[in-house]
Structure 1
Amino acid sequence: MTAAEHLVDGVLGLPKVLPAEIDRIARLHLLDAVGVGVAAAARGPARTLAAAPRATGPCTVLGTGTGTGPLEAALVNGTLIHSLEYDDTHTGSVMHGSSVLAPAVLAAAENHGGTGSEVIRSFAMGWEILIRLGLAAPSGFQRAGFQGTSAAGPLAGALAVGLLHRFDRAQLIDVVAVAASFSAGNFTFLSRGATSKAAQAGAGAQAALSAVDLVEGGITGAADVFEGDRGFFGLYARDPAAADRLRILSDDLGSRWHLPEAAFKGLPCCHFLHPFVEAVATLDRAPERILCRVPVGQEQIIAVPWSRKQRPLRADEARWSLPYVLALQVVRGGVTLDDFAGEPDPAVLAMAARIAWEPWQGSGYPAVFPATVEAEFADGSSRTVRIDDVDGGARRPWGTSRVIGKFRDNCARAGVAPGVADEVARALLETPSPEISALRSLVHAV
């Protein structure tokens, strides 16, 4: 039996009704993704995309009060959700699940039909699949130069949407294999501060829907899509043996739930940076210099090339800059959405020039996202601060009120009336079957 067949058998064995705690957590992650997308439609690098004219259709474009066709809705909403670097991450697999899965299942449900409960179930199942794809090759996609979310996202998204379409075993095997033809998403955006990373999530969501359409139209896929040097893991993670690990990881689908370990983001920047910001925030005064110990495997994203990271050309490029984001915390006392608009702040650049880094072997990454900073002060004293893991994950989970608070804040930034935001939160979190139709109301207050 191939890894794809084994995975699909595990998916088909999943419970028809989610365990209550998984249902609750999945709803929170969906709410968080929606809030981030709404904020991005109003004040992010993809806001022009959200406002662009397009054909009308049944599928909501977040933050606009309008609808379009499913493929375009998935593309736009995925891009919006990922564009602020404010969307959730499963740290061990390094997957931004909601930015691909939420737009895919929402568009499929609004176009094809599906209850709110079915949306939540397929969303949660997609997360479980995506996490296992990442855990099979820990950080392997990133080392090979691909974003794991856009490489594996089409496969997990296609299976999630296939569940909504009530695909049988043969169709699900086909759809995961066909979806692998859409895998993409490289890290070249880092070299010029481009915003194309956001579109990688949107393209992944769109690809999931396209794969389902193709299979419904008679296109088939290879059941051994994961195996060999030319299989999915061999190509995108340089790790053909990951197919065997995926088989093992598929054994506990339905009994071992990884979604509760996915971390919400409290800052609108790369998740690797969060524990470093937290460490600097604990200092009782501004340091003169900072030395950061960066977990090996993260440096290509947040530290290399260091001279460019210290002097980003645009503020939005700095979402992946360790020295600039830490300098924001020192100079401004926090890191917010507003910090990544416009031109870089000269005072922040000056502080970034006094920050250095060194590699940290054996940090525990990617199982945890840790940070260590050594701060040197003007009087010659120093202090070392270590953060063992990122805020918002399994070891330091957020409560419901904090997730709702972030959602309200994002809606407020988009000009959504507080009462409307509260009604949508109740519709998604408190009803027996989430009311997906409520999302269309999240628009700027008149």
Structure 2
Amino acid sequence: MSATPAEQLGALAAQAGKDGLPAARRDDVAGRVLDLLGICLAALSERPAEVVVATVDEWGGAPAATAIGSAVRLPAPSAALVNGTLGHSLDFDDTHLPSVLHPSAAVVPAALAVAEQYDVSGPAFLDAVAVGVEVTCRLGMAGYDREHANSVFFDRGQHATAICGTVGAAVAAGMLQGLTADQLTSAIGIACSMGSGVIEANRTGGTVKRVHCGWAAHAGVIAASLARHGLTGPPTVLEGRFGLLRAFCGEQFDIDAVTGELGERWESDRIFVKPFPCNHFTHAGVEAALRLRRAGLNPADLTGITLGVPEPVLRTIAEPLADKRRPLSGYHGAFSGPYTVAAALLGSGGGLGVSHEDFTDGAVADPDRLALAALVTPEADPDCTRIFPHQFPAVLTVRLSGGEVLRERVEHNLGGPENPLTPAELTTKFRMNAARAVGEATATALSDLVTRLSSDSRPTMFTALLRASA
């Protein structure tokens, strides 16, 4: 009898844990870890994270792992819950396309908590993150409807990140606990009963979505521990009659996306790192505006701006247009096509061109930015719609007072596989985030330790520094 998909994933994870992964993949993962660590530090003042910290403080338990921002250790599942919540609180974490899920914010916190608990090596930690993220992305693609270019999970109101990320987190945590292939298969089977998350908050409000990655990380650590102690899960948990994919996607799932070319082709190569602290749908418009700014465009000469984007993103960044041209808050401005273009043309220029300072309540009330945002008219662009959701492209057309028309098209998002951030740019983003909490000197030391994980650094080295800086 052939191995089930869950058994194949368990075997891959066990083999990677035994043999290790290539240096290039470890270095790529170290960059994702650095990125998420910076985001966690930048999010320390966010209310959802404060709520989670208060909750886990009430739980108590044996100290084992670091909750970022705290000088004390918590039980590993509690630390994973805190750090996963921090990682997703700013919507600045990485994105896999076209599934549109956020794998690192669920997997890295789970792996980090267990790696610290057992003081594992840097390479072993990176291998576990790599496989856990890969599992997450493959499950996300199993629920991707290629015909309609849409996630079945999302279409049914479910958060694919929270569901698939729980399984990926369990695999990463299980690898670091030394689970066998059979135990890893059970960890997958157990985690499939734990992953959940609905996205009604995207529509009508509430802060619960920011906890989704934290809960996925928390549940993944617990699933792996249960498997280590002998709890078992069904080997047909993914494709079975009452398995995860049918439960969440009905008959609209592709099991081959889970197992096809497993270990040879890495779905996680399609992960995009966000360069700007705003909604991902706005990024290509921001990049187009920054290119025009760098070329010497004077905003005072503008008489009109057209922002062409994929038709499906208009509801997120362009409607209702009056509110998007005059954001109600800094957070609201991060989801506005008109405002983000104005911020790129007039803003601080910090970070990689647009920074956190461009999304304060004061910044979005600036009269000059509002006047420029009022000139921006978003519209559906057919070419952009055709490319979506494999990229989130944009074309920016500006009209000058002298009658000249300039156009800048961005088809490949900055931070994606076709247009990746350089190591220097990734470090710039990390320092922009981390310095808000720990200062430049500590940010530099943390960056050095994380980038050396594939050689002579260990997770416990930078978690100790985090505690000392809290």
Both proteins in one fold, TM over 0.5? yes
Q: Does 1:289 align with 2:308?
A: no
Specify which of 445, 451, 454 is matched with residue 429 of structure 1. 451
Is the Cα contact below 8 Å between 2:66 and 2:467 reproduced in 1? no
Q: Does 1:71 align with 2:90?
A: no
Q: Does 1:375 align with 2:387?
A: no
Mapping for residues 278-427 of structure 1, pairs under 5 Å:
278-283=287-292, 284-286=297-299, 287-306=302-321, 308-332=323-347, 334=349, 335-342=354-361, 344-345=364-365, 347=367, 348-361=369-382, 362-418=385-441, 420-427=442-449
Q: Does 1:126 align with 2:136?
A: no
**How far, CA to CA, are the matches of 1:67 and 1:312 in structure 2?**
39
Q: 1:408 deviation in Å?
A: 2.4
**How far, CA to CA, are the matches of 2:434 and 2:68 in structure 1?**
11
Q: 1:106 to 1:298 in 2, by over 3 A?
A: same
Q: 1:259 deviation in Å?
A: 4.0
Q: Does 1:108 align with 2:114?
A: yes
**How far, CA to CA, are the matches of 1:118 and 1:441 in structure 2?**
20
Residues 381-406 of structure 1 deviation map (CA, whole Å, 9 limit, x = unaligned): 43332101111221112222222232
Task: Please tell me the residue identity of whatever aligns with 2:13.
Answer: V
Q: Which position in structure 1 is the counterpart of 2:233?
A: 221
**How far, CA to CA, are the matches of 1:2 and 1:297 in structure 2?**
36
Task: Please tell me the residue identity of whatever aligns with 1:441.
Answer: L
Is the Cα contact below 8 Å between 2:185 and 2:233 reproduced in 1? yes
Q: 1:187 to 1:296 in 2, by over 3 A?
A: farther
Q: Does 1:32 align with 2:35?
A: yes
**How far, CA to CA, are the matches of 1:236 and 1:429 in structure 2?**
38
Q: Does 1:442 align with 2:466?
A: yes
Is the Cα contact below 8 Å between 2:166 and 2:219 reproduced in 1? yes
Count of aligned positions: 441
SS of corresponding position for 1:368: coil
Q: 1:161 deviation in Å?
A: 1.1
Q: 1:9 to 1:58 in 2, by over 3 A?
A: closer
Q: 1:146 to 1:295 in 2, by over 3 A?
A: farther
Gaps of 5+ in 1: none
Specify which of 191, 212, 228 is matched with residue 203 of structure 2. 191
SS of corresponding position for 1:18: coil
Is the Cα contact below 8 Å between 1:36 and 1:86 reproduced in 2? yes
SS of corresponding position for 1:383: strand
Is the Cα contact below 8 Å between 2:95 and 2:273 reproduced in 1? yes
Q: 1:115 deviation in Å?
A: 2.5
**How far, CA to CA, are the matches of 2:337 and 2:199 in structure 1?**
17
**How far, CA to CA, are the matches of 2:457 and 2:180 in structure 1?**
25
Residues 213-240 of structure 1 deviation map (CA, whole Å, 9 limit, x = unaligned): 3334544333333226754334434553
Q: 1:409 to 1:11 in 2, by over 3 A?
A: same
Q: 1:417 to 1:382 in 2, by over 3 A?
A: closer
SS of corresponding position for 1:227: coil
**How far, CA to CA, are the matches of 2:240 and 2:338 in structure 1?**
40
SS of corresponding position for 2:438: coil
SS of corresponding position for 2:419: coil
Q: 1:61 deviation in Å?
A: 1.2
Q: Which position in structure 2 is the counterpart of 1:273?
A: 282
Q: Which position in structure 1 is the counterpart of 2:25?
A: 22
TM-score, normalised via structure 1 length: 0.88
Q: 1:346 deviation in Å?
A: 5.5
TM-score, normalised via structure 2 length: 0.84
SS of corresponding position for 1:242: coil
Q: Which position in structure 2 is the counterpart of 1:87?
A: 93
Is the Cα contact below 8 Å between 1:189 and 1:195 reproduced in 2? yes
Q: 1:60 deviation in Å?
A: 0.7
Task: Please tell me the residue identity of whatever aligns with 2:392.
Answer: F
Q: Which position in structure 1 is the counterpart of 2:147?
A: none
SS of corresponding position for 1:190: helix
Shifted more, 14-23 versus 118-127: the winner is 14-23
Gaps of 5+ in 2: 145-149
Is the Cα contact below 8 Å between 2:347 and 2:358 reproduced in 1? no
SS of corresponding position for 2:257: helix
Residues 63-107 of structure 1 deviation map (CA, whole Å, 9 limit, x = unaligned): 333321212211111111111222222334323222111110011
Q: 1:147 deviation in Å?
A: 3.0
Shifted more, 266-275 versus 404-413: the winner is 404-413
**How far, CA to CA, are the matches of 2:154 and 2:316 in structure 1?**
9
Task: Please tell me the residue identity of whatever aligns with 1:164.
Answer: L
Mapping for residues 256-267 of structure 1, pairs under 5 Å:
256-267=265-276
Q: Does 1:11 align with 2:13?
A: yes
**How far, CA to CA, are the matches of 2:312 and 2:243 in structure 1?**
23
Task: Please tell me the residue identity of whatever aligns with 1:159.
Answer: V
**How far, CA to CA, are the matches of 1:247 and 1:183 in structure 2?**
20
Q: 1:439 to 1:331 in 2, by over 3 A?
A: same
* Identity between Structure 1 and Structure 2 (%): 29
SS of corresponding position for 2:39: helix
